[in-house]
Amino acid sequence: MYSRVSSLAILVIVAFTIAGCKATPTPTGPTFVTPPPSATATPFQPTLTLTPALPTPTPEPLAATVNGEGVSLSEYNAEIQRLQASLKDTGKTLQPADLQKQALDELINETLLAAAAVKAGYKLDDAAFQKHLDDLTAQAGGTQSLADWMKNNYYDTDSLKKALRRSMAAAWERDQLTASAPTTADQVHARQMLLLDSDTANLYYQRLQAGTDFATLAYVVDPDTGGDLGWFPKGYLLLPEIEKAAFDLQPGQYSPIIKTAYGYQIIFVIERDSQHPLSTDARRVLQQQLLANWLKEQNSSAKIEILVPSP
């Protein structure tokens, strides 16, 4: 490096010496000094440094999208495995198409609920999440027990954390929805006679028409409760035809014979109250209906794209 600098300095000195020793002609007339031409600046050319492009990460395969949010193929397949395992424990089976639908419905509904929770102001900081995870570990019986449970339920650490965050948000929104269910409702207090064949049902109906008290006959049919159905709102009974008959009647009236999946029934309305307090079980049923209606509405209005083929 030193020799290059020295050579460059010598070349510069020699160049100036030659220029100083060059002969200059003697002028014979007036001397005109012509200004040197203007120097033209050479534009600065920046040195370009090419940075190698980073590899683009491969997008995770998706089973569905819900309003643009992805449901991964891996969690969908794991959900199917969990459903299959739970069905095996109960001895039940589902067709592949039904199994696929149930798994997708569960994941889509949770995604809709979690998104609604965030929109409503739900927040989960890292400390609160870690506490929940620690509680879950303790409930499982320790770290190793939780690891065994995860393996048996087709979770790894990342998928468990993702599912846990989503389920916590979904549970929060579910609680907000069900808390809005009323505590009172229009209800009837009714009694029934359930007969197994039409001939017996006709016999009891004729006795009612002859003036026999309904409760007296109901205790003959059912000595323990006299067929008392208690108070119930609309949407509570398993048989909609019985429920409709009860709400169509006025207190003190009985229905004609109604054929149902259980036999032949006659309904008598004891009393009715438009704002009767709901029992715990009746309110739970209404809460389930409220949640089901919300999910149905959300599913119909959301942009949902299913990306897995039907089996």
- β-sheet bridge partners, residue 59: none
CB 66, CB 111: distance < 8 Å: yes
Compute the distance between CA of residue 189 and CA of residue 192 in angstroms, rounded to an integer.
Answer: 11
Class of domain 185-277: alpha beta
pLDDT tier for residue 153 given thresholds of 50, 70 and 90: very high
177-220 confidence digits (pLDDT tens): 999 999 999 999 999 999 999 999 999 999 999 999 999 999 99
CA distance 191 to 246: 9
If we measure between CA atoms, which residue out of 109, 69, 57, 58 comes closest to residue 307?
A: 69
3 pLDDT band, cuts 50/70/90, is very low
Determine contact, residues 245/232, Cβ cutoff 8 Å: no
pLDDT at 172 over 60: yes
Range with the lowest mean pLDDT among 53-62, 108-117, 196-205, 283-292? Answer: 53-62
Asked if 178 and 290 touch (Cβ cutoff 8 Å), the reply is: yes
Neighbours of 115 (CB within 10 A): 21
- Looking at the DSSP assignment, which residues form a beta bridge with residue 62? 72
What's the CA gap between 110 and 97, in Å, rounded? 20
Q: What is the pLDDT of residues 221-243, one digit of tens each?
A: 999 999 999 999 999 999 999 99
pLDDT band at 311 (very low <50, low <70, confident <90, very high): confident
Q: What is the pLDDT of residue 28?
A: 42
Between 46 and 63, where is the model more confident?
A: 63
Residue among 294, 53, 262, 272 at smallest CA distance from 181:
294
Residue 171 pLDDT greater than 90, yes or no: yes
What phi and psi, each to the nearest 5 degrees, are found at residue 100? -60, -45
Say if domain 62-181+301-306 classifies as CATH 1.10.4030.10.
yes
Cβ-based neighbour number of residue 177 at 10 Å = 16
| pLDDT at residue number 78 | 95
What DSSP character marks residue 133? H
Q: Do domains 62-181+301-306 and 185-277 have the same CATH topology?
A: no
Torsion angles phi and psi, residue 54, rounded to 5: -70, 145
What is the average pLDDT score of the chain? 86
Looking from the CA of 237 toward its CB, the CA atoms found within 13 Å total 23
Return the structure tokens found at 46: 């920046």
CB atoms within 10 A of CB 201: 21
CB-based contact 276:35 (threshold 8 Å): no
User: What confidence tens digit (pLDDT) does each residue in 247-265 have?
Assistant: 999 999 999 999 999 999 9
Q: Across 55-177, where does the E strand assignment appear? A: 62-66, 69-72
Residue type, 207: R
- pTM score, two decimals? 0.73
Confidence category of residue 4, pLDDT binned at 50, 70, 90: very low
Stated as kind and residue range, the H or E segment containing 70 is strand 69-72
Of residues 23 and 274, more confidently modeled: 274
Assign 56 a pLDDT band (cuts: 50, 70, 90): low
Q: What integer pLDDT is reported at residue 59 of this predicted model?
A: 81
pLDDT one-digit tens code per residue, 117-140:
999 999 999 999 999 999 999 999
Q: Which residues contact 170 (CB under 8 A, 6 or more apart)?
A: 109, 110, 113, 114, 117
Question: pLDDT tens digits for 155-164?
Answer: 999 999 999 9
Domain residue limits, the chain: 62-181+301-306, 185-277
Q: Are strands 263-277 and 258-260 parallel, antiparallel or unpaired?
A: antiparallel
* CA pair distance 248, 190, nearest whole angstrom: 12
Residue with the larger pLDDT of the pair 12 and 267: 267
- Above 80 in pLDDT, residue 80? yes
Residue 66 CB neighbours (<10 A): 21
Q: Tell whether the model's pLDDT for residue 17 goes beyond 50.
A: no
- Looking at residue 52, its pLDDT comes to 61
Question: Rounded to whole angstroms, how far apart are CA atoms 174 and 110?
Answer: 10
- With cut-offs at 50, 70 and 90, classify the pLDDT of residue 310: confident
